[in-house]
Structure 1
Amino acid sequence: MKNIAIIPIVLLSLYSCKDNKSKSSEVLEDVVTEVKTTPKTYAEISVAQGGTWGDGPNGHQEYKGGTSFKNVEELQVPEQHTDHTWYIRYEGPGWENSQVGYRLYLDWRNAIDIFGKKVDSLVLPYVGQNGFGSYHEDAPWGQDILKAGKSMGLGGYGRVVADTMVHFQKVQDTKANITNTDTNSSIDIAYTGWESGEDTIDLKSKLTIYPEDRYTKAELTPSKAIEGLCTGIVDHNVAFHKKEGEIWAYIATYGIQTLTEPADKLGMALFYKLDEVTEQKKGDYEHLVIFKPTTETVTYYFLAAWEQELNGIKTEADFLKDIDTKLEALNATNSIK
């Protein structure tokens, strides 16, 4: 286990400053300095403390009166939790390295979003501490840059049933575990009793980030071989690219497709094994990669390259060169490095 004892202390101090922007900025500078001494990858999930569940809009529950956030290594998602219940900081687990950060909405949406970073230090310890949705606003560290909408975002997962995307609206139980080691950081999520179409299955997901480069490795293990298990990239009507090798292939998008003001350039790519996939097609909200029915683990990689990233990729040509190199590596050695 990595030595990350500093981080929970930082979290509490930041949350206490949420209504004092100038003081929060001072704390932020201290955090950037201190977090630089921590390992090169980091994953976390942080839940609200000090409040209670109560009635909210649309018949849903909300976590009200929270006074702080606390990092936990494992979480059984409360039955009351759904989107925008103010219980999980930035709505799910997050993971990052020096170049990029990601988060997964740990609710029915189950989409993956992107934290664009302008700095090479770890930033997740203070994201969302000075207001629940503050990470949507431009900050010295960066911001949330992707609008997932009704899609799976980048590399999220769901199921296509009768040409309709089914997210995780019906799940009996969801558990998440965080692991930080000297070589990587990962999130393991176990979904029990996921209902989609006429099937109910269990699904295990593992998302891993490494110290170098922008990619996340995703591994999905279903308990039952079902048709339609899929991943994809949100479609924002920008340039779409697809390339196949002997073993691996990718789909990618590039263009003006961020939440920044003004919007700027972002590249997203998803790498998949051809023999694990039955179809790649356009869905209603995303470019889909649909897996063959199996109970074996399926593996794919996804990445985001933002032009404001420190020493980042600035052009479509350079982005394609980068992902072409990764595709060559995958086809030659089955490794993206």
Structure 2
Amino acid sequence: MKSKFIYLLGLSVLMACNDHKKNDVEAEDQNLSEKNSVTAQTYAELSIKEGGAWNGRKYEGGEFKNVDTLTLPASHTDHSYFIRYEGPGWENKNIGYRLYLDWRNAIDIFGKKVDTMVLQDVGQDNFDSYHESAPWGQDILKAGKSLGIGGYGRFVGDSVAHFRSVEKTFAEVANEEEGSTVNIVYSGWKTGDKTIDLDAELAIYPEDRYTKVTLSPSEAVEGLTTGIVKFEDVALIQNDSISGDWAYIASYGTQTLVNDTDKLGMAILYKKSEVEKIQDGPYDHLVIFQNTAEPKTYYLLGAWDGEKEGITSREDFVSSLNELVTKLNDGKLNP
């Protein structure tokens, strides 16, 4: 009886030690996460539901878990409730973005009121709570049927073909000291009578507000395009007269979901040598690339006047774009 008591006592002590070690590890993980959220200058993530089940086109139950890679399930479409805030997100201290990882393939803007990393907490409490104002900020752009800010597709006929027919979509996110990236590989993307593969890399850096985008088609394709969503009474701004290969299209005005007074600037910086033409589509101001198999590089950016120490006038926004284009033409932009 005494030996049994000693055995049980020892077992209890061992279990208590293991629980203590487990709690220490969990505390260390939490502290590391908190430390990373404070010290990181950029962040990209992809978060999906696990532990639930598909019911037709919707995912029911489960909890969100961050993953580094994802092959998109065949059942997935818009509003499937499978991916937290509907796709990968990336940010720096000034601004955040997300890409709808479904047939829409538009890019949206998270306006930030703070200068810390916030995406790890966005959409955790409710699937689309980020549409409401919060201390960190909110989703500020209504993309609708457009490409949003710098999304990509193919201009066919008189409209933009998005990604309704893709055999396989693979996404990957990475965080490094120099910046964060989202890589997406679209295999068997069919638009009209053309089927190609397309690799897209989106990279954000600690400075400024821009995302660098590189599109690499598997073969020459006519009409590969990016664009900025159009809003009534918000004029297009163009500047291709600056000496050098880089130019931009932009817009600035009351074009947010926040209210009728907030101002938002959006821009795409592109190489004139890679572009066939600038043209308006049904929902976007478009930059249409030349029909080649060479990679296409451009920069997208948003600037919300609700940012901490943000740009608050059209004049300052245009001035900041001119400075960026000058740096690009002089080879002085870091990335």
Q: Which amino acid aligns with 2:161?
A: V
Aligned equivalent of 1:220, options 204, 210, 215? 215
Distance 2:129 2:177 in 1: 30
Aligned to 1:62: 58
Q: Distance in 2 between matches of 1:305 and 1:31?
A: 31
Bigger Rg over Cα: 2
The answer to whether 1:108 aligns with 2:111 is no
Counterpart for residue 303 of structure 2:
305
> Which position in structure 2 is the counterpart of 1:48?
49
Letter in structure 2 aligned against 1:143: Q
Aligned partners of 1:149, 1:32: CA distance in 2, in Å? 34
Give the equivalent residue in structure 2 for 1:239: 235
Equivalences for residues 102-141 of structure 1 within 5 A: 102-141=97-136
Which amino acid letter does the alignment assign opposite residue 298 of structure 1?
K
TM-score (norm. length: structure 1): 0.87
Structure 2: how far apart are the matches of 1:325 and 1:331?
A: 10
What percentage of aligned pairs have identical amino acids?
54
Structure 2 stretches lacking a partner, 5+ long: 1-24
Deviation at 1:334, TM superposition (A): 6.5
The C-alpha deviation readout for 1:11-54, integer Å capped at 9, x for no partner, is: xxxxxxxxxxxxxxxxxxx9997554331000000001111001
Structure 2 residue identity aligned to 1:193: G
Q: Which of 238-247 and 72-81 deviates more?
A: 238-247
CA distance in 2 between counterparts of 1:284 and 1:193 reads 26
Note if contact 2:209-2:301 (Cα within 8 Å) is conserved in structure 1: yes
TM-score for the superposition, normalised by structure 2: 0.88
Question: How many angstroms apart in 1 are the aligned matches of 2:69 and 2:289?
Answer: 29
DSSP-derived class of the 1:165 partner:
strand
The letter of the residue matching 1:241 is I
Alignment-mate amino acid for residue 303 of structure 1: L
Amino acid at match of 1:203: L
Instruction: Name 2:246's counterpart in structure 1.
Output: 248
Asked if structure 1 preserves the Cα contact closer than 8 Å seen for 2:304 and 2:310, the reply is yes
- Number of the residue aligned with 1:201: 196
For 1:177 and 1:32, the matched residues in 2 are separated by 20
Q: Which residue of 2 aligns with 1:58?
A: none
Tell me which residue corresponds to 2:276.
278
Residue 89 of structure 2 is aligned to residue 94 of structure 1 = yes
Instruction: Give me the whole-angstrom Cα distance separating, in 2, the residues matched to 1:262 and 1:281.
Output: 27
State whether residues 239 and 248 of structure 2, in contact with CA within 8 Å, keep that contact through their aligned partners in structure 1: yes
Shift in Å, 1:299: 0.2
Whether the 8 Å contact between 1:250 and 1:270 is mirrored in structure 2 is yes
Aligned pairs for 1:155-234 (under 5 A) are 155-234=150-229
Residue 239 (structure 1) shift: 2.6
Instruction: Give the total of aligned pairs.
Output: 306
Distance 2:103 2:256 in 1: 23
Opposite residue 180 of structure 2, the aligned amino acid is S
Q: Residue 327 of structure 1 contacts residue 336 of structure 1 at CA under 8 Å; is this kept in 2?
A: no
In the aligned structure 2, how far is the partner of 1:276 from the partner of 1:158?
A: 16
Map Cα deviations across residues 292-311 of structure 1 (whole Å, 9 max, x no partner). 01111110001100000000
> What SS does structure 1 have at the residue aligned with 2:231?
coil
Moved more, 201-210 or 263-272: 263-272
In structure 1, C-alpha distance between the alignment counterparts of 2:40 and 2:60, rounded to whole Å: 34
**SS of aligned partner of 2:215:** strand
Counterpart for residue 147 of structure 2: 152
Greater shift in the superposed pair: 318-327 or 31-40: 31-40
Give CA deviations for 1:259-308 in whole Å, capped at 9, x if unaligned: 00345100001000001000101111010000001111110001100000
The residue type paired with residue 44 of structure 1 is E
Secondary structure of the 1:319 match is helix
Give runs of ≥4 in structure 1 deviating > 4 Å: 30-36
Q: Is the 8 A contact 1:178 1:188 kept in 2?
A: yes
Q: Give 3-state SS (helix, strand or coil) of 2:322's partner.
A: helix
Q: Do 2:38 and 2:117's aligned partners in 1 also have CA atoms closer than 8 Å? A: no
1:223 aligned partner, one-letter code: S
The change in CA–CA distance for 1:31 and 1:286 in structure 2 (over 3 A counts) is farther
Matched, 1:320 2:318: yes
| AA of the residue aligned to 1:178 | V
Unaligned runs of 5+ in 1: 11-29, 56-60
